[in-house]
Amino acid sequence: MIIGCPKEIKDHEFRVGLTPSNVHTFSEAGCKVYIEKGAGEAINFYDEDYKNAGAIIADKEELFEKSEMIIKVKEPVKEEYDLFKEKQVLYTYLHLANDKELTEMLLKKKIFSIAYETIRKGKLLPCLAPMSSIAGRLSIIEGAKYLEKTYGGNGTFIGGAPGTRKGKVLILGGGNVGFNAAQMALGLGAEVIIADIDLARLEYIDQVFHSKITTLYSDSGNIKEWIRDCDILIGSVLIPGSKAPKLIRKEHLKLMKKGAVIVDVAIDQGGCIETSHPTTHTDPIYIIDGIVHYSVANMPGAVAKTSTIALTNTTVPYGLKIATLGAKEACLQIPELTEGLNTIDGKITYKGIAQAFGADYFDPIATLQAYQ
């Protein structure tokens, strides 16, 4: 299969879909790989490194024209829509349940799209996990920064100081993001609370952290009580492939301390805070009712080199199967990739996306078997 890896053009997105080492792996498997000129330069992966690994350096138009499969990091943006060819394979993060326009483009062009975030192995999301870990840890670092009075925060130092109270961090959701956020917050000396509806998960967290973190059952009444005293609120609730539930409403902001910070890590899936909207690394925050909101949609892009390596460690093995077996056969043979299939031949094959738009859902196996 001919692979194309374009340069990301989303604001401050310096990650890249393939490293030079990954190109070498694909080349050894008999694939031809096109890399857009300068795709990895921002994180010290230079064109010469890619060429030495076997890649062909091309401009964006040539890359899209010649490639059978496009490997990216983030979902395509509008400027890239016209570059896609009918029935091309797209392998990247997509978050389609929050992006009707992109979904419509993929359907119109009959794109064979496989989304990193919906590839599932049992209960695990292997291609989402590394970015969730990084985003969870970053959420505390960013939350602590924007607590500074300079940015409109209430001036609390998250770790406190002798003779003062520590900052209080409330984390909604005890999954991978929430767990890593708790780990970072505890390490910085904060008082940490995790809320979740999965009691078994709360028990696990309590044991792992040796009861140093408060675990609470999450319901609307309890949330109203807990948000009154938190300095940083982390929204980390995920329903794979579907829109995130809105746990914090606009009226809840009036209950919070002025200058508290909300970090909505679920913003890629629409956010779990009603007042959240996607922001960028260039302009990351805004303030509503005295509450600082941080909702950058590509948080791990801030640490692009680490994120790229962590991501490709998980995405490349699946990508190699797609490239060597063909997208149809790989999805039929590998259950994880069947789960990852979002659109094929103009049809939506992931329930959460169909439900988000009130569209028809098509069984992925039956759709694959009929695909020519």
Residue 149, burial from CB neighbour count under 10 angstroms (0-12, 13-18, 19+): exposed
Please check whether the two domains, 2-125+303-370 and 132-302, share a CATH topology: yes
Tokens of 90: 């797209």
What confidence score (pLDDT) does residue 44 get? Answer: 97
Q: Is the pLDDT of residue 68 over 90?
A: yes
What's the whole-number mean pLDDT along residues 13-26?
A: 98
Q: What percent of the chain has pLDDT over 70?
A: 100
What confidence score (pLDDT) does residue 240 get? Answer: 74
**What residue type is 2 in one-letter code?**
I
Of 99, 196, 231, 268, which one is the catalytic site residue? 268
The DSSP symbol for 44 reads T
Q: Is the pLDDT of residue 279 over 90?
A: yes
Domain ranges of the chain: 2-125+303-370, 132-302
- CA 372/CA 328 separation, integer angstroms: 9
What does residue 107 show for φ and ψ, rounded to 5 degrees?
Answer: -70, -45
What confidence score (pLDDT) does residue 245 get? Answer: 87
Residue 347 pLDDT class (50, 70, 90 cuts): very high
Per-position b or e across 26-41, b if 16+ CB within 10 A of its CB: beeeebbbbbbeebbe
Instruction: List, for residues 200-250, the tens digit of each pLDDT value.
Output: 999 999 999 999 999 999 998 889 999 999 999 999 997 777 788 899 999
Q: Which pTM was predicted?
A: 0.90
- CA 368/CA 372 separation, integer angstroms: 8
Helices (H) and strands (E) in the chain, counts: 14, 15
- The CATH number that domain 132-302 falls under is 3.40.50.720
What confidence score (pLDDT) does residue 220 get? Answer: 87
What's the whole-number mean pLDDT along residues 297-326?
A: 96
User: Chain-centre distance of CA 127, in angstroms?
Assistant: 9
What confidence score (pLDDT) does residue 168 get? Answer: 97
Of 24, 49, 95, 264, which one is the catalytic site residue? 95
What confidence score (pLDDT) does residue 315 get? Answer: 98
Tell me, yes or no, if 252 is annotated catalytic: no
- CA 147/CA 159 separation, integer angstroms: 12
Q: Is the dihedral of CA 250, 128, 37, 101 positive or negative?
A: negative
Q: Is the pLDDT of residue 30 over 90?
A: yes
SS3 113: strand
- The CATH number that domain 2-125+303-370 falls under is 3.40.50.720
What confidence score (pLDDT) does residue 239 get? Answer: 77
What confidence score (pLDDT) does residue 337 get? Answer: 97
What's the whole-number mean pLDDT along residues 291-303?
A: 95
The mean of the pLDDT values for the chain is 96
The DSSP symbol for 248 reads B
- CA 256/CA 67 separation, integer angstroms: 51
176 closest CA partner among 148, 151, 198: 198
Tell me, yes or no, if 99 is annotated catalytic: no
Q: Is the pLDDT of residue 123 over 90?
A: no
